[in-house]
Amino acid sequence: MSMLSWIRRIACAWLPRRASRLAGWLLLAVAAVAVWPVAAVTGAGCIVARLRGWPAARLGRQAGWALPMGIVWIAAESARGWRAVALDPVRDGGSGWPHLTVTTVFRTFLLVAPVTIPAGLALAALLCAWRIYAATTGTGGWLAAALVTAGTVPEVAVAEAPAAQAPVTLPAPRRETAPVALRREGILGPGARR
Amino acid sequence: MTGAGQDLGAGVRRGRMGWLVRQLPGRIWRGRPLRLLARALVTCLLALAVLHLVAGQPAAPALVTGLITWFGLTARSDLAPPRER
């Protein structure tokens, strides 16, 4: 295989994967910018929870306590008509873009805060719960929890042994190469090379 | 539940609420009154700022409600624990 074809093959396999991942992150960034008040509350909630060691349930409770604000907002908006309830957050969220100053950004945030604070905190609670799940299982959170492997069983026995009892001796790990194991299972014949 | 049971339950709740309200000045005094006052002042100033920034919008009463909720939740830490009856 020539060097050029090897590079071409690597690029063909590597580039689409990288490009799809980059496109996913870009899409997420665009969505975060579009709904920046929610993203800001979610980010702040995640950072505060991480720094202060809050569990995800606490963020969820905070979101619950922010709900009266949303209920009052819905009641006040419904006095203007139900159409305003659906359209006003979008209109208010986009109102700060033409004149981007600190005051307009702050005012825009305040206009949509009764909706974005409960929603952002709830989203932050979900994200924190997912992060804790991913860290616990060690699988990145996307897959099912990993099975307990045979290698961890002796360590569990040592950890559960009472202190007064004689120390549990760990069985020495049996090392065998794959061909030996396969030969033992009868998959490979005796003449197979290692 | 019977009508008499409901009346009894409501009466007990009212009595407990009245007892908590009667205890409130003492709990404030024995707690951290200056900190509570500072918290109340900050809440009032934030409410005024919100009313100034988003005057006439539906978000204004909602944000004031949020500030009052925040005050109610955090002010409990500045009160002394209630005395046992």
pLDDT at A192: 46
CA distance A89 to A67: 16
Among A68-82, A113-127, A155-169, B28-42, the least confident range = A155-169
Residue A52 belongs to a domain: yes
Same-domain status, A99 and A46: yes
Q: Give the residue-averaged pLDDT of B2-24.
A: 73
Residue B83 belongs to a domain: no
Same-domain status, A123 and A90: yes
Question: Is residue A116 scored above 60 in pLDDT?
Answer: yes
Same-domain status, A45 and A133: yes
Contact A80 B73 (CB under 8 A): no
**ipTM score of the complex?**
0.74
Q: Name chain B contacts of A65, Cβ cutoff 8 Å.
A: 69, 73
Count of domains forming chain B: 1
Same-domain status, A48 and A113: yes
pLDDT at A191: 47
Question: Is residue B60 scored above 50 in pLDDT?
Answer: yes
Residues A40-72 have pLDDT tens digits of 999 999 999 999 998 999 999 999 999 999 999
Residue B62 belongs to a domain: yes
**Residue among B56, B69, B59, B83 nearest A66 (CA):** B69
CA distance A126 to A122: 6
Same-domain status, A43 and A132: yes
> Residue B52: which domain range?
3-78
Residue B31 belongs to a domain: yes
**HEC-encoded secondary structure of B8-64:** HHHHHHHHHHHHHHHHHHHHHHHCCHHHHHHHHHHHHHHHHHHHHHCCCCCHHHHHH
The 3-state DSSP composition of chain A as helix, strand, coil percent (nearest 5) reads 70, 0, 30
Please say whether the beta carbons of A121 and A49 come within 8 A: no
Same-domain status, A120 and A158: no
Handedness of CA B35, B37, B42, B43 (dihedral sign): positive
Q: Name chain A contacts of B59, Cβ cutoff 8 Å.
A: 73, 76, 92, 110-114
Best of B48, B65, B71 to disrupt the A interface (most A CBs within 10 Å) is B65
Please say whether the beta carbons of A120 and A37 come within 8 A: yes
Place A158 in a pLDDT band, splitting at 50, 70 and 90: low
Same-domain status, A60 and A99: yes
Question: Is residue A193 scored above 50 in pLDDT?
Answer: no
Please list, in sequence order, all residues whose beta carbon lies within 8 angstroms of the beta carbon of residue A35, skipping any fewer than 6 positions away: A93, A116
Contact B73 A69 (CB under 8 A): no
Residue B57 belongs to a domain: yes
DSSP calls for A116-138: HHHHHHHHHHHHHHHHHHHHHHT
Residue B14 belongs to a domain: yes
Residue B58 belongs to a domain: yes
Residue of chain B minimizing CA distance to A85: B58
Same-domain status, A82 and A163: no
Give the percent of chain A with pLDDT over 90. Answer: 30
Question: Is residue A73 scored above 60 in pLDDT?
Answer: yes
Amino acid found at A185: E
Count of domains forming chain A: 2
Q: Name chain B contacts of A91, Cβ cutoff 8 Å.
A: none
Contact A110 B53 (CB under 8 A): yes
Same-domain status, A74 and A129: yes
Place A144 in a pLDDT band, splitting at 50, 70 and 90: low
Please say whether the beta carbons of A161 and A176 come within 8 A: no
Contact A114 B62 (CB under 8 A): yes
Q: Chain B: nearest CA to A111, how far in angstroms?
A: 5
Higher-scoring residue by pLDDT: A169, A84: A84
Among A59-63, A124-128, B17-21, B22-26, the least confident range = B17-21
> Residue A122: which domain range?
35-137
pLDDT at A140: 56
Residue B84 belongs to a domain: no
Residue of chain B minimizing CA distance to A88: B58
Question: Cβ of B77: how many Cβ atoms within 10 Å?
Answer: 11
Same-domain status, A171 and A89: no
CA distance B60 to A136: 42
Q: Give the residue-averaged pLDDT of A85-106.
A: 72
Q: Give the residue-averaged pLDDT of B4-15.
A: 68
Q: Chain B: nearest CA to A108, how far in angstroms?
A: 9
Residues B40-57 have pLDDT tens digits of 999 999 999 999 988 888
pLDDT at B2: 57
pLDDT at A16: 85
How high does pLDDT run on average in chain B?
Answer: 85
Residue whose entry in the numeric block shows the structure tokens 């396999």: A13
Q: Chain A: nearest CA to B50, how far in angstroms?
A: 8
Same-domain status, A86 and A177: no
Residue B13 belongs to a domain: yes
Contact B65 A80 (CB under 8 A): no
Q: Which of A65, A106, A110 comes nearest B69 by C-beta?
A: A65
Contact A79 B58 (CB under 8 A): yes
Q: Chain A: nearest CA to B38, how far in angstroms?
A: 22
